[in-house]
């Protein structure tokens, strides 16, 4: 958080099936939720938090299993469970309507909330989102098969660093921020029970043939929010080609593909992503 001059301000709320969901809040104005992806936590949004908090109330929950939130007792439906948390946080904070941004698995949960209660969201940003095709990183597909689990040792610093460098943010150059991102991914993956939860969550999300759940056109047609889709042109986790189906099937959607950028767009194209998000969520 210090990279953007932010001071920690967090607390816990009950949301969905979880007693302790960690939430940070910054600024005042129209509410916007920022939902991080797997292997991360709220600080992944530090650039966007700092920029949006100038004229928005920015709410940043940690998805249970990651950040400082509870470990889930069981992961069985990531899209619905994360949507439960998003909507539960909104209820706890008495937010009737908001904008929302989600990255990767956080985008999947955001889609769940956008489909289930479409009237509560005006605008959305979905970055590197699964749910639009079977395609998925080959190592994650293999690791979803129990006998192949040793291929991704989530509790190993060297393995987590290798995966981050080779597949998640392979286009970003050396920097202190990059090293902090990598260490955050490792630390959240080493909390008590996190490794087992990761593999359980991966099995519920993916199999040897790729992503298990592909969003139906009928469900996507329920989305009322104006949606900005952001993808890196070199995404090695969720193929960039999925962006074409996303923009074609979401009723009011625009696509922005960022050149020379991989999966972790907030890190690899931080300034451009912040510019896009701030413009999309302009105060109205």
pLDDT digits (tens, 9 = 90+) for 50-78: 999 999 999 999 998 888 898 887 787 88
Task: Average the pLDDT over each of 14-18, 169-173, 195-199, 266-270 and give the range with the smallest value.
Answer: 195-199
pLDDT of 283 > 70? The answer is no
Q: Is 160 within a domain? A: no
Q: Is 191 within a domain? A: no
> What's the pLDDT tens digit per position in 1-31?
899 999 988 999 999 889 999 999 999 999 9
**For residues 134-143, average pLDDT:** 92
* pTM recorded for the entire structure: 0.96
The CATH number linked to 261 is 3.40.50.1820
pLDDT of 240 > 90? The answer is yes
State which residues form the domain around 75.
2-136+213-280
Average pLDDT, the chain: 93
The number of domains in the chain is: 1
> What's the pLDDT tens digit per position in 85-97?
999 999 999 999 9
pLDDT of 186 > 60? The answer is yes
Q: Is 221 within a domain? A: yes
pLDDT of 179 > 60? The answer is yes
pLDDT of 284 > 60? The answer is no
Q: Is 157 within a domain? A: no
Highest mean pLDDT among 63-77, 171-185, 188-202, 266-280: 266-280
Q: Is 248 within a domain? A: yes
pLDDT score for 194? 75
Q: Is 207 within a domain? A: no
Q: Is 17 within a domain? A: yes
pLDDT score for 230? 98
Asked whether 170 and 262 are in contact (CB, 8 A), the reply is yes
Q: How far apart, in whole angstroms, are the C-alpha atoms of residue 200 and residue 189?
A: 13
Q: Is 146 within a domain? A: no
pLDDT of 151 > 80? The answer is no
pLDDT above 70 covers a percentage of the chain that reads: 98
**Whole-number Cα distances in Å, 194 to 38, 134, 157, 202, 218:** 11, 25, 14, 12, 35
């Amino acid at each position: 958080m210090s990279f953007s001059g932010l001071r920690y301000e967090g607390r816990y709320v009950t949301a969905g099936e979880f007693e302790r969901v960690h939430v940070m809040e910054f600024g005042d104005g129209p509410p916007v939720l920022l939902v991080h992806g797997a292997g991360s936590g709220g600080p992944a949004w530090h650039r966007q938090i700092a920029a949006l908090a100038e004229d928005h109330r920015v709410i940043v929950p940690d998805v249970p299993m990651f950040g400082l939130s509870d470990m889930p007792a069981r992961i069985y439906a990531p899209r619905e469970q994360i949507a439960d948390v998003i909507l539960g946080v909104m209820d706890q904070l008495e937010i009737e309507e908001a904008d929302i941004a989600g990255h990767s698995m956080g985008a999947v949960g955001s889609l769940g909330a956008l489909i289930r209660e479409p009237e509560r969201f005006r605008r959305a940003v979905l970055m590197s989102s699964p749910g639009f095709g079977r395609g998925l990183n080959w190592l994650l597909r293999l690791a979803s098969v129990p006998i192949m689990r040793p291929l991704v040792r989530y509790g190993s610093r060297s393995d987590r660093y290798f995966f981050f460098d080779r597949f998640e943010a392979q286009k970003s150059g050396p920097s202190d921020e990059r090293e902090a991102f990598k260490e955050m991914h490792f630390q959240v993956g080493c909390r008590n029970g996190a490794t087992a939860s990761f593999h359980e969550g991966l099995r519920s999300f993916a199999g040897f043939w790729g992503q298990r759940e592909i969003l139906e056109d009928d469900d996507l047609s329920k989305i009322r929010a104006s949606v900005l889709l952001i993808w890196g042109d070199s995404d090695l986790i969720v193929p960039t080609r999925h962006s074409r189906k996303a923009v074609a099937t979401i009723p009011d959607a625009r696509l922005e593909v960022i050149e020379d950028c991989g999966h972790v767009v907030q890190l690899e194209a931080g300034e451009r992503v912040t510019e896009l998000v701030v413009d999309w969520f302009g105060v109205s």
